[in-house]
A and B are shown apart, each in its own frame.
Chain A
C-alpha cells in the first residue's frame, strides 16, 4: 500500500519536474528547431514546431556570407589559448600554496580572489587606450591576454582546492620507498593532480568562450569571437531568425556539451570552494 502511494507520488513529481525542465530548456530547443526552417517558416504564426520542411540552407548561408568559421576559430583560439596560458601560470602557484603553505598563503589567495571582483568598467578606459597605442585592439594576442588575466584567479583557486585534497602522507610513503623529488612529482603527484587540472581546464574554456564584455569591446572583425559575431545580428535590418538560430546553435553546441560533462565541477569552481 505504502509502496503504491510512493510510486504514484514519484510519477506525479517526475511529471512536474519534466515539465519544468522542458520549459527551462525550451528556448534552446526552439533555437535548434528554428535553425532548420526557412526564413519564411521561422516567422510563421501559428508557429510550426516539428512538422515543417527541414533544411540545412541556413548553415550554408551563414558560413558563406559571413565567414562563420573564422569567428568560430577565433573563439577556439582565444578560449583555449587563454586557458592554457592561465594553467601554465597557475599550476606552479597553486602547487606551492597547497604543498608548502605559509602564514601568508591565505592572504595571497584572498587577494587574488579580490582582483576578480574588480568591475570591468573600472579599467575599461585605460585598457582600451593601452591596447590602442600598442595596436592590440582586434588581435588574438590582446584578447588572450585579457581573458587570461580575468580568469587567472578562478584557475588558481580551483587548482588550489583540488591540490589541497591530495594526501601529503602519500609523499612520505614514496620517499621512504626511496623516491627522489623528480620521481615523486612524475609518478605520484601528477597522476593525482590530473583530474583536477582537467576540470579546471574545462570550466575555464566555458567561461572564456562566453565572456561578453571584453570580447565585445576589444574586437571588431579580424579577431572577433562568436559572442561579438552573434551581437552583429542585433541590428534591426539583420533580423534573419533562421540564420540567427543556425549561427547560435553552432556557437552554443560545443560549450553546452562540455558544460554537461563538467557540471559537478561547476559548483566548486564558481563558488571558490565555498560550497562543495
Chain B
C-alpha cells in the first residue's frame, strides 16, 4: 500500500530513535562484556590484563553472590505476593459502588508517585523507628513489645516499603481489567446460583489472568533492579542481609572499583533479566497482533 517514497521517508523518521537505542544498548553492553574478561581495578591503573572466565568464576563462587541472588528472589517474590493478592482484593473492593469513588481511587494510587528515596526514608524513620516511630507507639498502646524493624527484620522491612510503592500499580491494572469484564456474564452466573467464591474462581480470576501476568512480569523487571530503597535504609546490611544483585554490583564497581568483577556481575544480571523479558515480550507481542 505504501509507495517507495513514503517507505524512504518512514525509514528516515525512524532512524534517530533506532540508531540512538542501538548505540545505547550495544556500546556499553559490549564494554561490560569486554571488561568482564579483564583483570581491571581502577585503584591499580595500568595493570589490566585478560583473565578469561576468572571474574565469572570468582563472582559465581563467592558466597555473597548466592546470598545476593537469594535476597533478590526473596525481595521480588515477597513484593509480588503482597501486591498481587492485595491488589486483587483492593481492585474487587474499588469495583463496587462506593461513595466518593474518585477520591478513594486517588488516595489508593498516590504511593506510586512518591519518589523511592522519600518513601524509604519516611517509612524507615517516621513509621518504623524503634523508639519514636508511629508503629512502636501503636505497639505500646496495645502493650506489645515494639519491633526494631531494620535490626530484627531488615529484608521484611524493605519488602513492606517496596510493596507499598507497587500496590497501586497492581491495583490499577487489575481494576482496569476487572472493569472490562462483561456485566451480563456475572449476572448470568449469579442467576445460575453461583455464590461469590465460585463466581470469583471460575469467572473473575480467569478473566484477570492476563492482567495479573502482565503485572508480575513488569514488576519483576523493575524489582530486580531495586536500589535506592536499599541504599538509603540499610546500605545492604546488616552484613549482607539486604544486599541484592543490583546493590552487590554497585558496591563492587563504585565502592571497590573492581571493574572486571562488577562487569561479570552485570552480565549475570543481564542474563537473569533476559529470562523474564522473553516471557513478557511474548505476551506483549501476542497482543500486538490482536
Contact = CB atoms under 8 A, between A and B. Distances in A.
A20 interface: yes
Given A25-B107, A114-B281, A20 B270 contact: no
B267 interface: yes
Contacts of A106: 285, 288-289
Interface string A245-262: 100100110011011100
Interface stretch (A61-69, A88-96, A193-201): A88-96
Contacts of B168: 24
Q: Interface SS of chain A: helix, strand, loop or mixed?
A: helix
B28 A126 contact: yes
Contact of B274 (A99, A108, A109, A117): A117
Contacts of A241: 125-126
A13 B93 contact: yes
A275 B284 contact: no
A231 B231 contact: yes
B214 A275 contact: yes
A275 B254 contact: no
Interface stretch (B75-83, B110-118, B183-191, B195-203): B110-118
Interface in B206-250: 210-211, 214, 218, 221, 224-225, 227-228, 231-233, 245-246, 249-250
B277 interface: yes
Nearest to B29: A123
Contact of B225 (A109, A113, A119, A259): A119
Interface string A95-125: 1110110100010111011111111111111
B168 to A, nearest CB: 8
A156 to B, nearest CB: 6
A209 B270 contact: no
B250 A96 contact: no
Q: A interface, how many residues as a size bin?
A: 35 or more
A136 interface: no
Nearest to B245: A121
Contacts of A84: none
Nearest to B287: A274
Contacts of A239: 125
A267 interface: yes
A217 B14 contact: no
B99 to A, nearest CB: 4
B107 A22 contact: yes
A244 B129 CA distance: 14
The listed residue with most B CB atoms (<10 A of its CB), out of A28, A209, A231, A275, is A275
A89 B104 CA distance: 37
Contact of A263 (B18, B109, B285): B109
Given A110-B285, A234-B232, A13 B98 contact: yes
B117 A212 contact: yes
Nearest to B288: A106
A252 B176 contact: no
B16 A244 contact: no
A17 interface: yes
A206 B116 CA distance: 12
A127 B172 contact: no
A259 B253 contact: no
Contact of B284 (A89, A108, A113): A113
B13 A217 contact: no
B29 A95 contact: no
Contacts of B131: 45
Interface stretch (B2-10, B46-54, B57-65, B151-159): B2-10
Contact of A122 (B29, B121, B123, B136): B29
A266 interface: yes
A147 to B, nearest CB: 12
Given A14-B99, A213-B246, 11 more contacts: A10-B96, A10-B97, A24-B108, A25-B108, A27-B126, A30-B126, A34-B126, A126-B27, A231-B232, A267-B172, A275-B173
17 contacts: A14-B99, A20-B93, A24-B167, A89-B17, A92-B13, A109-B288, A112-B17, A113-B281, A117-B276, A217-B250, A227-B115, A230-B115, A230-B117, A248-B121, A263-B106, A267-B172, A275-B210
- The 3 A-B pairs at the shortest CB distance, nearest first, are namely A212-B228, A126-B31, A92-B13
